[in-house]
């Protein structure tokens, strides 16, 4: 029987090429002007640190970390994503695998991070415990995900972005997001909506301390490029970024 993780894996396998093109050509506004600046600032100085990128996709963030002097490993459940990452970035160690059982020794990494992948983890506690295992004591785990509050506020067709329908924040469970809408690559990919409380409590129960939490706003350069998205992000929290420490 197919599990939700198999569904996510085959979905990302099918769009890996298109996803890479999207990320690598600068059209990925949310990644380039919001997520990556926030995540890199959370991670701080990574020089000579052993860093694991979990759900690394085609390796764009891994490459940014390499440029900052880190020793980079990347793992992803999608074979096609890892194939692209390996073809484009030679200096990182990429592996196909799932977050629930990773092929690394306990205490191997100084830093682990996950950009927009935690929302796909159907078993959050198992994932967090495995991430804690591969980190040194005192190591850092930073992750970004779409803000759970934003996930339950929906556009009303024909109305401005700031007039929204508010869904049920407390109802956790599977939702889906359509990628590449209106193109031949259009695909619906599932993710799990969870409250902030669940993320925080699961992190603590899995052996982490909370060091920081951010709901970042985009960098100013976005204002010139895409004023509407920039203005929307001044009002609506798009992203959640957590910084945890392995206790």
Ligand X SMILES: C[S@@+](CC[C@H](N)C(=O)[O-])C[C@H]1O[C@@H](n2cnc3c(N)ncnc32)[C@H](O)[C@@H]1O
Footprint of ligand X on 192-211 (CB under 6 A):
none
Between the alpha carbon of residue 78 and those of residues 6, 15, 54, 87, 210, the distances in Å are 9, 10, 12, 15, 29
H/E element, 20 = helix 4-24
Find the shortest distance in angstroms from Cβ 66 to ligand X: 14
Residue 142 binds ligand X, judged by CB under 6 A: no
CB nearer ligand X, residue 117 or residue 240? 117
Residue 219 φ/ψ region, left for φ over 0, alpha for ψ in the -120 to 50 degree band, beta for the rest: beta
Among the residue ranges 55-63, 149-157, 169-177, 229-237, the one whose residues contact ligand X (CB under 6 A): 55-63
Residue 179 half-sphere exposure toward CB, CA atoms < 13 A: 18
Residue 151 in contact with ligand X, rule: CB under 6 A: no
Radius of gyration of the chain (CA): 17
- Give 101 or 168: the residue with its C-beta nearer to ligand X: 101
> Cα–Cα distance between 155 and 160 in angstroms, integer?
8
Strand partners, 214: 241
Among 77, 92, 135, 140, binds ligand X (CB under 6 A): 77
List Cβ neighbours of 101 (8 Å cut-off, separation of 6 or more). 130
Least separation in angstroms between CB 56 and ligand X: 6
Segment near ligand X (CB under 6 A), from 73-81, 83-91, 169-177, 225-233? 73-81
Contact 65, 46 (CB under 8 A): yes
H helix intervals, 123-184: 124-134, 148-151
Considering the complex, state which of residue 56 and residue 72 has its C-beta at the smaller distance from ligand X. Answer: 56
From candidates 71, 84, 117, 141, binder to ligand X by CB under 6 A: 117
116 binds ligand X (CB under 6 A): yes
Q: Quote the least distance from Cβ 48 to ligand X, whole Å.
A: 23
Binder among 34, 49, 98, 194 for ligand X (CB under 6 A): 98
| Complete DSSP assignment for 54-104 | ET-TTSHHHHHHHHTT-EEEEEES-HHHHHHHHHH-SSSEEEE--TTS-SS
Per CB under 6 A, 76 contacts ligand X: yes
Pick the binder of ligand X from 115, 146, 147, 206 (CB under 6 A). Answer: 115
Positions in the binding site for ligand X (CB under 6 A): 5, 8, 12, 23, 31, 55-57, 60-61, 75-78, 81, 98-99, 115-117, 120-121
């Amino acid at each position: 029987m197919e599990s939700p993780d198999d569904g996510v894996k085959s979905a990302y396998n099918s769009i890996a090429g298109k996803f890479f093109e999207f990320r690598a050509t600068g059209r990925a506004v949310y990644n380039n002007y919001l997520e990556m600046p926030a995540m890199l600032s959370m991670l701080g100085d990574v020089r000579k640190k052993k860093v694991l990128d979990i759900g690394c996709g085609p390796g764009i963030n891994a490459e940014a970390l390499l440029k900052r002097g880190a020793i980079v490993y990347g793992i992803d459940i999608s074979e096609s994503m890892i194939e692209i990452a390996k073809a484009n970035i030679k200096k990182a160690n990429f592996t196909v695998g799932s977050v629930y059982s990773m092929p690394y020794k306990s205490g191997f990494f100084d830093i682990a991070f996950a950009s927009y992948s935690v929302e796909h983890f159907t078993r959050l506690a198992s994932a967090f415990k495995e991430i804690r295992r591969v980190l040194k004591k005192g190591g850092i785990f930073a992750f970004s995900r779409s803000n759970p509050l934003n996930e339950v506020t929906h556009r009303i067709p024909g109305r401005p972005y700031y007039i929204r329908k508010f869904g049920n924040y407390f109802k956790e469970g599977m939702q889906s997001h359509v990628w590449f809408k209106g193109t031949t690559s259009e695909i619906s990919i599932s993710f799990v909506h969870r409250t902030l409380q669940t993320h925080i409590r699961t992190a603590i129960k899995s052996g982490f301390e909370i060091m920081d939490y951010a709901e970042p706003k985009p960098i100013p350069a976005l204002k010139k490029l895409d004023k509407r998205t920039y203005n929307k992000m001044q009002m609506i929290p798009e992203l959640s970024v957590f910084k945890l420490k392995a206790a």
